[in-house]
Amino acid sequence: MKIRAYLSFLLLWSVHLAFSQKDIDSIPQLDLSRIALINQSDSYITFPTDIGNLDPLMFEANINPSFVIRKRKDSKLVALLKPQITIRMYNEESYPVRTPSYIPQISVYYLANKNKSLNYAVLFGKIAHHSNGQDGNFYKDDNTINLQTGNFATNFMEFGFIKTAYSNRIKALKTMKSSIEIHPKSWMIPELKGKYSALRWHNSFTSFKFPLTNSHSDRANFSLKAETTLMLDNYKDLETFDLDRFNASLTFYYHPKFLEDIGLFVQLYHGMDYYNIYFNHQISVIRFGIMTEILRF
């Protein structure tokens, strides 16, 4: 009787260990460079089906490859060099591409804390340039902004932190980011001073949902990203709680099984137009397109 009870105990303990190991093995491996890539803007191309108050577009594209600088894969300090370019092709005669946004940048990420349950804490800093490659007068003769050839240029710094967590029960990776973006007055062209926000508070939440299988080739089938920006400084004589100080976006991404490296997305955006010299426009838009898959394990 004692032998039977002992064997039953050993069987139950073996099953417990097997399932515990399965849970451990099913947790995706995450390093600092992947955390850094998750929190970059995505590369995408939109379809000509935007709903909202943007001028009719053939597409908007964000080209944002990453060059990772690190000593080794498990380094606690990683740098990213990115030559980000955003372009819009307008649905007009000759389909013009006007004043692309050039945002070259270098970011540094430091892994401050790490444990096995993917509760990581990361500090980061960024230096970037934002311009439109034009050298014309900022204003036209009628004192309106010269959207065609007007010069737009600013440089900025961004500092913040990232927290990650993982739920093994629902196989979802979550990240939260908060940062402050600063445009020193001496770093922007004179025409932008007082008209373009030089102090911004960014917050974002991202969730990646993994398939409910224990496979080393698991990838995120779904992801959801919510982002907000609050303009903190005194510009354009806006009231403290004016809605024009607030930008918000919500992006839903789906990776179908029949596509290897790209997926489909839908995005809702409301706030200041981020397309360089078009910053004076307030836009509300729903758009659709294809996006590269950042997170792969």
Instruction: Please tell me the predicted confidence (pLDDT) of residue 28.
Output: 61
Domains in the chain (CATH in brackets) are 29-292 (2.40.230.10)
Instruction: Please tell me the predicted confidence (pLDDT) of residue 74.
Output: 83
User: What digits encode the pLDDT tens for the residues 49-62?
Assistant: 999 999 999 999 99
Over 70: is that where the pLDDT of 20 sits? no
Instruction: Please tell me the predicted confidence (pLDDT) of residue 11.
Output: 41
The reported pTM is 0.86
Instruction: Please tell me the predicted confidence (pLDDT) of residue 114.
Output: 84
User: What digits encode the pLDDT tens for the residues 94-140?
Assistant: 999 989 999 999 999 999 988 877 889 999 999 999 999 999 999 99
With CA atoms as reference, report the closest residue to 31 among 66, 62, 77: 77
Instruction: Please tell me the predicted confidence (pLDDT) of residue 17.
Output: 38
Contact criterion met (CB below 8 Å) for 81 and 103: no
End-to-end CA distance of the chain: 48
Q: Which residues have a Cβ under 8 Å from the Cβ of 10 and sit 6 or more positions away?
A: none
- For residue 56, the Cα-to-chain-centroid distance in whole angstroms is 25
Residue with tokens 């800093």: 125
Strands (DSSP E) found in 7-139: 44-46, 51-52, 57-63, 67-69, 77-90, 101-113, 121-131
Helix-, strand-, coil-residue percentages of the chain, each rounded to 5: 15, 45, 40
* Average pLDDT of the segment spanning 135-159: 96
Contact criterion met (CB below 8 Å) for 67 and 82: yes
